[in-house]
Amino acid sequence: MTIKTKTYTSTFEEDVAKGLSSFPKSLSSKYFYDKKGDKLFQDIMAMPTYYLTDCEYEIIALQKEEISAAFQGEDGFDLIELGAGDGKKTKVLLKYLSDNKIDFSYLPIDISQNVLDGLKESVQKEIPNVDIQPQQGTYFEVLENLAQYNTRKKVILFLGSNIGNLLHPQAIDFLANIQEGMNDNDLLFMGFDQKKYPQTILDAYNDKEGITAAFNKNILHRINTELDANFDVDQFLHWEVYDPETGTAKSYLVSQKEQTVQINKLQLEVPFKAWETIHTEISQKYDDDIVSWLANESGLHMVNQFTDSNHYYKNYIFKK
Ligand code: AVJ
């Protein structure tokens, strides 16, 4: 007897096949971000209920002087940003540093050369004196590379509470990887969304307009187009829960009826019972104790913190 095992041509294929063949079913939120997903996330950031972006913007805009003072090094510094996106928040800082003739270079890291080209163009146009040196690659490739030849002080930026998509053990791995690329003088400046009134958190991930629902369901559209599948996306419900004890917000897609989905490219049939779930995302919320614990587990320690007027969100500075 021969057992036919499918060989996958990408980790996306493999992850989808595994996630939808498991119980309970899951799909990774890292696959939300195709062109349409990027656009939907932009729309989410513009929603009044998605307070995270506004809070971090407020922190940077109102405390740029203190933040910049903490960043400064004897020989200037390299400001290295992981996943810069459109750089709206970072530009506030870049402008302040540039206006005050502070010696620094800006090194945004992104997988997408496209994103980097757009960012470089807009920074050069809006803040022409900034020395911008885009670095194409994965975060850790670039950080490892920088750690080898780079001698001046590094300040690593990781904004947006993007770490919240990781479970604590994964977050510790992530931080430990960054820590490895840091020297004693280097800093890590990171955003962490905080625990708060639970309904405020639920509202951020459950807007009435259905933008977050569309963002969550976009992963099914992606599977339909990229893996030749036939998800009836309207038969799935976006569902958000928040556990105030653990601080974990979780997103699900719930099958509203019994149905079977064909994923042709994976030669896979996926049966759903009525009300069966696909877990798609976690958005972890933090407090100082959890953040200190994560940092310490990763060989880092907290040296400073900044918060907004509502105390909804914090940016911390860590050292080795
Ligand atoms: C980009 C991971 C910070 O979890 O808050 C927004 C993504 N998901 N709405 C978050 C997201 C649903 C976002 N992060």
pLDDT at 84: 77
pLDDT tens digits, 180-205 = 999 999 999 999 999 999 999 999 99
Ligand 1 centroid from CA 164, angstroms: 8
pLDDT at 145: 86
Ligand 1 site, residue 165, Cβ cutoff 6 A: yes
Q: Which of 27, 32, 39, 41 maximizes ligand 1 atoms within 8 Å of its Cβ, making it the mutation to test the pocket?
A: 41
Contact indicator for 140, 175 with CB cutoff of 8 Å: no
Nearest protein CA to atom 14 of ligand 1, as residue: 162
pLDDT, mean of each 10-residue run, the chain (320 residues): 76 97 97 93 96 97 98 94 88 98 96 90 97 92 84 94 97 96 96 98 97 98 98 98 98 98 97 98 98 98 98 98
Ligand 1 site, residue 56, Cβ cutoff 6 A: no
Ligand 1 site, residue 51, Cβ cutoff 6 A: no
Ligand 1 site, residue 213, Cβ cutoff 6 A: no
Q: What do you get for the CA distance between the two ends of the chain, in Å?
A: 56
Ligand 1 centroid from CA 101, angstroms: 34
pLDDT at 150: 77
Ligand 1 centroid from CA 83, angstroms: 14
The structure tokens listed for 160 are 């947006």
pTM metric for this prediction = 0.95
Contact indicator for 227, 263 with CB cutoff of 8 Å: yes
Contact indicator for 194, 313 with CB cutoff of 8 Å: yes
* Total Cβ atoms within 10 A of residue 41: 19
Nearest protein CA to atom 1 of ligand 1, as residue: 162
The structure tokens listed for 88 are 């709206």
Which atom from ligand 1 is nearest to the alpha carbon of 165?
A: 2
Count of residues making up the chain = 320
Ligand 1 site, residue 161, Cβ cutoff 6 A: yes
Interface pTM, i.e. ipTM: 0.99
Nearest protein CA to atom 13 of ligand 1, as residue: 162
Query: Which residues touch 138 (CB under 8 Å, ≥6 apart)?
Result: 111
Ligand 1 centroid from CA 151, angstroms: 34
Which atom from ligand 1 is nearest to the alpha carbon of 160?
A: 3
pLDDT at 141: 87
